Amino acid sequence: MIKSFIDQKILSRGKDFVQLVFFNIFCSFVYWGWGFLIGDLVPFQIHDNFRQYIPIISIILNSCALFEIFSIHKAGLYLQVLIIFHAGYLLFFNQHHHVFILAFTLLLVLQSLTFKKRKELFLFYIFATILSIALTVVATYNRELFMYNSFTVILLSPIAALLKISSDEVRLLQSQKISELKVEKLNLKINEQLNILGSALAHEINTPLTTILGYTEMLDLYKHKNIPLDSKFIKKIEKQVIQIKEITDMLSSLSSDPKKNGSGGTTSEEIIIDVKNHLETKLSLNKLKLVFIYDQSYYYEIEKGKMYYIFTEILKQFPTQIEDLNIEIKFSEKDICFLIDKPNELMINDLNTMSAQLLANNYNYKIKNYESDTKLGIQLKKEDQGV
């Protein structure tokens, strides 16, 4: 139960909050320790020989509290220095001096003022200050009552710590919210820039497309209305295509992976990696074993886009619940063979459908069904090689 409480209320709120809690617990311990010892309120008998070391111990404990105070505000720092000095004064002179009471009070007031933006802490410290002043004044007339001042410290310290935790948590949440707002603002700015980029690109691409379309209409008019054919029409179309290409090149250059900016030709290794990644991502196959057989020295002139399409179309035809799908892709000088090891009848029918589909899409590869004793597949031959 304690563990779940700690997990829920403390650990789940993140590293910063956990640090905050433990730091405050430590500081409370420091204040308690000092209060208990000075006020002689420990639940055990303090040996007389040890008693003389109490002020030294309180100096050490309050010095530890400097870690917290130093990180927060200077008034608190001065307060801690004063407390240490006070303890030192007690050590050497064993007297309670009125000057220290006044200085102590003034610094408590100053400390509370530094918390003025944190309402709960501010009110608490005002209350603590008034109480402390009252008890200290009383204690100057009755030293026995001095222990109640220490008792006040014992009571007030953990309350202050809890208040500070909740106040710090609010500040933490506020700073998180500020960060989120900054991120949101940045995202809005990015979106705005993307919108501008998108609109500019759309305009820059649509204009040459209009020119291309316009000149093709001219070619049509030439046929039907005896408009004289000007060879510059073709050149104008070419010019617009180049213009579009420049824009797409610019877009490609925005990509972080320069390897993606390939031309028509590519190495076989690149094809293999690309095809495999593409197929596994696009088709979400569970078990796909791709075996590539190729001659590393040969440079294949293959357009990547067509490769993706062909292989994707082929694999789409297979039901994905097939396990252990072993496919051999064999590259040679003349053709690409896409072979399925020990296919079943379902696959054989599918392959015929695939061939027809690929042919219908007019790719410049001729499709032929490939059969051997154990393998069945599709052979893609370049058109100029013949089937």
Partner 1 sequence: MNWRKEVKVLIIEDNKDLLELEEMHMRIAGFENIFLAENSEEAETLLNEHKIDLCLSDIKFPTKDGVEVMRNAKVKNQTPGILIFISGFNDYKLDQLKAVGACEYFEKPVKFEKLIQFIESKYQELHSNKEKAS
- CB of 210 vs partner 1, minimal distance in Å: 4
Phi and psi based region of residue 167 (left: phi greater than 0; alpha: psi -120 to 50; beta: remaining): alpha
Among 197, 209, 234, 242, binds partner 1 (CB under 8 A): 209
Nearer to partner 1, 176 or 210 (CB): 210
214 binds partner 1 (CB under 8 A): yes
Rounded to whole angstroms, what are the CA distances from 69 to 18, 62, 81, 114, 158? 18, 10, 10, 12, 15
Q: What are phi and psi of 327, to 5 degrees?
A: -125, 135
264 binds partner 1 (CB under 8 A): no
Nearer to partner 1, 236 or 278 (CB): 236
207 binds partner 1 (CB under 8 A): yes
206 binds partner 1 (CB under 8 A): yes
Among 25, 102, 137, 227, binds partner 1 (CB under 8 A): 227
200 binds partner 1 (CB under 8 A): yes
- CB of 4 vs partner 1, minimal distance in Å: 56
Greatest pairwise CA separation for the chain in angstroms: 124
212 binds partner 1 (CB under 8 A): yes
210 binds partner 1 (CB under 8 A): yes
- CB of 241 vs partner 1, minimal distance in Å: 12
213 binds partner 1 (CB under 8 A): yes
Q: What are phi and psi of 292, to 5 degrees?
A: -105, 130
Rounded to whole angstroms, what are the CA distances from 103 to 55, 58, 99, 267? 19, 19, 6, 83
- CB of 187 vs partner 1, minimal distance in Å: 21
13 binds partner 1 (CB under 8 A): no
C-alpha 360/C-alpha 186 separation (Å) is: 48
- CB of 205 vs partner 1, minimal distance in Å: 7
251 binds partner 1 (CB under 8 A): no
311 binds partner 1 (CB under 8 A): no
236 binds partner 1 (CB under 8 A): yes
239 binds partner 1 (CB under 8 A): yes
In this structure, are residues 160 and 35 in contact, taking their beta carbons and an 8 Å threshold?
Answer: no
Query: How far apart, in Å, do the first and last CA atoms of the chain sit?
Result: 77
C-alpha 23/C-alpha 164 separation (Å) is: 11
C-alpha 4/C-alpha 15 separation (Å) is: 17
Half-sphere exposure of 212 toward its Cβ, with a 13 Å CA cutoff? 13
Of 31-39, 166-174, 236-244, 269-277, which segment contacts partner 1 by CB under 8 A?
A: 236-244
Matching residue, tokens 């050149």: 235
229 binds partner 1 (CB under 8 A): no
C-alpha 223/C-alpha 227 separation (Å) is: 7
Among 215, 318, 338, 365, binds partner 1 (CB under 8 A): 215
C-alpha 294/C-alpha 309 separation (Å) is: 20
Residue 22's SS3 state is helix
145 binds partner 1 (CB under 8 A): no
Among 7, 184, 217, 324, binds partner 1 (CB under 8 A): 217
C-alpha 378/C-alpha 337 separation (Å) is: 6
Matching residue, tokens 């032929």: 368
- CB of 252 vs partner 1, minimal distance in Å: 20
240 binds partner 1 (CB under 8 A): yes
C-alpha 94/C-alpha 90 separation (Å) is: 4
Nearer to partner 1, 245 or 287 (CB): 245
- CB of 251 vs partner 1, minimal distance in Å: 16
Matching residue, tokens 């379902």: 346
Among 19, 199, 286, 364, binds partner 1 (CB under 8 A): 199
Binding residues for partner 1 (CB under 8 A): 198-200, 202-215, 217-218, 221, 225, 227, 236, 239-240
